[in-house]
Chain A
Amino acid sequence: MGGYLGKLLRIDLSKDDIREEKLPEESTLRQFIGGTGLGARILYNEVGPKTQPTDAENPLIFMTGPLTGTTVPCSSNSTVVTVNAEVDKMIGTSHSHGFWGAQLKFAGYDGVIIKGKAKRPVYLSINDGKVEIRDAKKIWGKDTHETEDLVKQDLRNPNASVGAIGPAGENQVFGAFIEVDYNHSWAKGGCGKVMGSKNLKAIAVYGTGTIPIADPATYLAVSRKWRAKLFDSPSIGNSMARAGILFGYKYIESQNILANRNFSTSSFPEYAQNIDRIKDEFKVEPTSCWACPISCSYRARVTSGPKKGFLATLSGGGENTEAAAANVGITDPGWIVYMTDLYDRLGMDSGSMGLSLGLAFELYEKGIITKDDTDGLELTWGNAEAAEALLRKAVKREGFGAVLAEGPKKAAEKIGRGAEKYAVHVKGGGLNYHDWRAAWSVMLGQIVAGAGGRWEGYGVDVWAVEPDLGLTKFHNAHQVEGKADAVRMTQFKKLWEDSIGICWIGAWGCPGALGWAAECIGAATGWKDFSAQEALAVGERVVNLQRIFNLRQGFEPRRDFEDLGKRLIEAPPDGVAKGKPLGPHLEKMIKEYYHLMGWDEKTGKPLAKTLKKAGLEGLK
């Protein structure tokens, strides 16, 4: 069977034990494919209801898909799946790009399961069949980019791909992630915290093998068609191409989705204008992942201002810069890229820890906290030096930083004095950081997402429509009708894409991509009758699997309704969403979503017939 290598690597860091094992049987693969889906299915068996994220028995599962490392556009995906270390009692899933996933497959493995805790700091080297647990004493404490360089030097292999945690992961702070290939990261699910708890500093992969494909002629023909359509349609790939986000801020500001200053406003023209200055004035070079025709990530060399000369290596979404800079009011273009890069180097998601900082700044501005609380830092909007100092304190859990190191929700509880009102979070964790008060589908999608606030269901309010799902027209951002269904359908598509080995930017809004992805799965594996319908059924199965996993871990469905920053469902004081709070409609929308999902509207649990239809009846 093509597409897969048929092998998993299992590592127990407590016992220095490395062994290979077979992938699950073909029927299971066809049900869950790979990536998020197969990773979640494996995790379900690996842990029990009581497993905590930083327990030795909680695995970090890295999983590719059958399309990873091929000619399919954006086939760079690898997913990490683990018990969520950022959001209580949920699964944690996150995907990343660059070259790591492709290299892992060339090294001969579809995935890696890492359990246990090393007695001292180690890093892992996977080089074709040779797997080593190596000493990381000298690199512990280094930032993610330094770590990548040092590991490559240590292995004398500049072509290895290295995923690494920074000081944030080592200190197990909120939002700690795993950076890879300079520009990319597995950013969600607190995976950096889990990796840090295992004393695992980095994972280097390099391979010289190949991936078998059952029907190469069809595979090549379909992937070419798909690539052509990406640039011959209003797809997201088209608009994100060549560091495209830097060219997109007129749209973002016009839609009032530029998240800034802890959501205290929904407009920030000065920030949007200065993003234009990055593309116009700085030396910007788009960079590419494996098989990517888009190159949304980029390097920016600062050419003027206080950060002149600094080289930032960023990914392409815009959420990272908004959460790192706009959220504390930073507008200097050099500081924008510097702060965003700093989050990457310290090893944490700005869409999580950035919310802690935003909260602190707003509380200071409102006079709820003062210099006495902040160790003397003046947290006024736009004070970039203070933001950097505070971030470094949070990573070290030092002074006031220790208060922020557990995220905005817990920080607000600790601070008290009514701070809870201003904490922005989804179920205690971060979110994909644009202002979704002006795009209710995305907000609903973040709220009902099965792995904590993140891209799962996104609807058709902004950016692009989804013709493959019959969603050919943009929704009014503030209508209630149709939102739950659009969120559900896009969630199926997204989780399917997260399971096959592609970056969803290569398929979002690209007419035909759903069918072509299904065709490529068929051509790769030899499952000739694999259809778009079966593809969406995979997505639906994964949504249900995440749900029953969460319920088994003790997740209480009422948290869908209650456990989120109230800011997110109130109306902003300005912009297109002014006077239009989501709050009053939320219960109805979530219940409609439950209903459409085949979940009990009262208890939020999947009905028996739903699990049966999804082929999950054996799992409880």
Chain B
Amino acid sequence: MNQVLVVDPLKCSGCRTCESACSLIHFGESGTSKSVIRVIAFRHDVFFYPHVCHQCKKPYCAEACPVEAIVKNPENGVVELDKGKCIGCKLCLEACPFGAMAMMEDGLAAKCDLCGGDPECVKFCDYGAIRAGNADDISQPKRMAEAQGIFAAIGNQPRKLFDTHKISTYGLEE
């Protein structure tokens, strides 16, 4: 199953603990500049978007990489960066349509590796705004929400299954 980070901006408080946790687990330092998850804040509107790597099926970062330092792992779907191969050319940063790639002070690229399957940012989000899941975890709640809206609007009306089928009388009444 392809795991991704599922974010819900409406649940995010903007506390930025995820950034600190990401930075600590990967670099042993707390801060936001070394984190590959970034909370984008619209503070005046109390709206926050935890920005994450989407682990694309067709990762432009990997395609742009001239030295094959970025590879999508076919087993778990994680787009993995091999720091040993990275030459720091920044082409991946330019290629990523979302801005999920980062550069570190060592001059090499960095990206989300989902912490090997147990992401630290998820563990530190007390608001449930970041979860690890698959694509359906992103879409299914939205489908459900839409369905519930429809249910609230017309759920009490008589159902119309008979409209499309006439009950068979096995010819007995004929």
Same complex for A and B? Answer: yes
- B30 x A69 contact (CB < 8 A): yes
A158 to B40, CA, bound (A): 11
Inside 8 A of B132's CB, which chain A residues have their CB?
Answer: none
Q: Which of A266-313 contact B (CB under 8 A)?
A: 285-293, 295, 299
Q: Does A213 contact B (CB under 8 A)?
A: yes
- A227 x B28 contact (CB < 8 A): no
Q: Does A224 contact B (CB under 8 A)?
A: yes
Q: Does A177 contact B (CB under 8 A)?
A: no
Q: Does A324 contact B (CB under 8 A)?
A: no
- A106 x B46 contact (CB < 8 A): no
Q: Does B15 contact A (CB under 8 A)?
A: yes
Shortest CB distance B44–A (Å): 9
Inside 8 A of A381's CB, which chain B residues have their CB?
Answer: none
A99 to B25, CA, bound (A): 22
Q: Does B62 contact A (CB under 8 A)?
A: no
- A70 x B15 contact (CB < 8 A): no
Q: Which of B1-48 contact A (CB under 8 A)?
A: 13-17, 20-21, 23-25, 27-34, 41, 43, 46
Q: Which stretch (A203-211, A248-256, A467-475) binds chain B?
A: A203-211
Task: Decide yes or no: A210 and B34 within 8 Å by CB, A220-B24, A220-B25 being known contacts.
Answer: yes
Shortest CB distance B47–A (Å): 10
Inside 8 A of A69's CB, which chain B residues have their CB?
Answer: 20, 30-31
The one of B14, B34, B124 in contact with A224, judged by C-beta atoms closer than 8 angstroms, is B124
Shortest CB distance B105–A (Å): 9
- B13 x A291 contact (CB < 8 A): no
Max count, chain A CB within 10 A of own CB: residue among B17, B124, B127? B17
Inside 8 A of A220's CB, which chain B residues have their CB?
Answer: 21, 24-25, 120
Q: Does B123 contact A (CB under 8 A)?
A: yes
A216 to B43, CA, bound (A): 30
Inside 8 A of A290's CB, which chain B residues have their CB?
Answer: 15-16
Task: Decide yes or no: A71 and B124 within 8 Å by CB, A159-B41, A219-B24 being known contacts.
Answer: yes
**Chain B residue at minimal CB-CB distance from A289:** B15
- B43 x A158 contact (CB < 8 A): yes
- B25 x A292 contact (CB < 8 A): no
The one of B13, B21, B27, B28 in contact with A71, judged by C-beta atoms closer than 8 angstroms, is B21
- B14 x A288 contact (CB < 8 A): yes
The one of B14, B25, B33, B124 in contact with A216, judged by C-beta atoms closer than 8 angstroms, is B25
Inside 8 A of A209's CB, which chain B residues have their CB?
Answer: 31, 33
Q: Does A212 contact B (CB under 8 A)?
A: yes
A213 to B120, CA, bound (A): 16
- B127 x A293 contact (CB < 8 A): yes
Max count, chain A CB within 10 A of own CB: residue among B15, B30, B32, B46? B30
Task: Decide yes or no: A210 and B46 within 8 Å by CB, A216-B24, A219-B24 being known contacts.
Answer: no
Q: Does B82 contact A (CB under 8 A)?
A: no
- A291 x B15 contact (CB < 8 A): yes
Shortest CB distance B15–A (Å): 4
Inside 8 A of B28's CB, which chain A residues have their CB?
Answer: 212-213, 216
Task: Decide yes or no: A210 and B31 within 8 Å by CB, A220-B25, A291-B17, A299-B46 being known contacts.
Answer: yes
- B24 x A208 contact (CB < 8 A): no
Inside 8 A of B68's CB, which chain A residues have their CB?
Answer: none
Q: Does A231 contact B (CB under 8 A)?
A: yes
- A286 x B124 contact (CB < 8 A): no
Inside 8 A of A295's CB, which chain B residues have their CB?
Answer: 13, 15
- B20 x A285 contact (CB < 8 A): no
- A211 x B124 contact (CB < 8 A): no
The one of B13, B16, B43 in contact with A286, judged by C-beta atoms closer than 8 angstroms, is B13
**Chain A residue at minimal CB-CB distance from B17:** A291
A453 to B123, CA, bound (A): 39
Per-residue 0/1 for A177-221: is the Cβ within 8 Å of any B Cβ (1 yes, 0 no)?
A: 000000000000000000000000000000011111100100110
**Chain A residue at minimal CB-CB distance from B12:** A288
Inside 8 A of A224's CB, which chain B residues have their CB?
Answer: 123-124
- B33 x A231 contact (CB < 8 A): no
A212 to B34, CA, bound (A): 12
Inside 8 A of B123's CB, which chain A residues have their CB?
Answer: 224
- B124 x A210 contact (CB < 8 A): no
Inside 8 A of B29's CB, which chain A residues have their CB?
Answer: 210-213, 216
Inside 8 A of B46's CB, which chain A residues have their CB?
Answer: 285, 287, 299
- B20 x A291 contact (CB < 8 A): yes
Q: Does B126 contact A (CB under 8 A)?
A: yes
- B33 x A210 contact (CB < 8 A): yes
Max count, chain A CB within 10 A of own CB: residue among B21, B28, B123? B28
The one of A213, A219, A292 in contact with B13, judged by C-beta atoms closer than 8 angstroms, is A292
The one of A211, A288, A293 in contact with B31, judged by C-beta atoms closer than 8 angstroms, is A211
A288 to B33, CA, bound (A): 20
A579 to B121, CA, bound (A): 54
Inside 8 A of B33's CB, which chain A residues have their CB?
Answer: 106, 208-210
Shortest CB distance A238–B (Å): 11
Inside 8 A of A299's CB, which chain B residues have their CB?
Answer: 46
Inside 8 A of A208's CB, which chain B residues have their CB?
Answer: 31-33
- B13 x A210 contact (CB < 8 A): no
Inside 8 A of B41's CB, which chain A residues have their CB?
Answer: 159
A69 to B127, CA, bound (A): 19
Inside 8 A of B25's CB, which chain A residues have their CB?
Answer: 216, 220
The one of A71, A158, A227, A293 in contact with B20, judged by C-beta atoms closer than 8 angstroms, is A71
Inside 8 A of A289's CB, which chain B residues have their CB?
Answer: 15
The one of B15, B27, B34, B43 in contact with A293, judged by C-beta atoms closer than 8 angstroms, is B15
- B30 x A210 contact (CB < 8 A): yes
A216 to B23, CA, bound (A): 10
- B13 x A211 contact (CB < 8 A): no
Inside 8 A of A71's CB, which chain B residues have their CB?
Answer: 17, 20-21, 24, 30, 124
Q: A106-B33, A210-B23, A223-B124 are in contact. List 15 more A-B contacts (CB 8 A).
A: A69-B20, A70-B20, A70-B30, A71-B30, A106-B32, A159-B41, A210-B31, A213-B24, A288-B13, A288-B14, A293-B15, A293-B126, A293-B127, A295-B13, A299-B46
Q: Which 10 A-B pairs give the minimum distances between C-beta atoms?
A: A210-B31, A293-B126, A288-B13, A210-B29, A288-B15, A216-B28, A208-B33, A70-B30, A211-B30, A291-B17
20 A-B pairs in the complex with CB atoms less than 8 angstroms apart: A69-B31, A70-B24, A71-B124, A102-B16, A106-B32, A210-B23, A210-B27, A210-B30, A211-B29, A211-B30, A211-B31, A212-B28, A223-B124, A224-B123, A227-B126, A288-B13, A291-B20, A292-B17, A293-B15, A299-B46
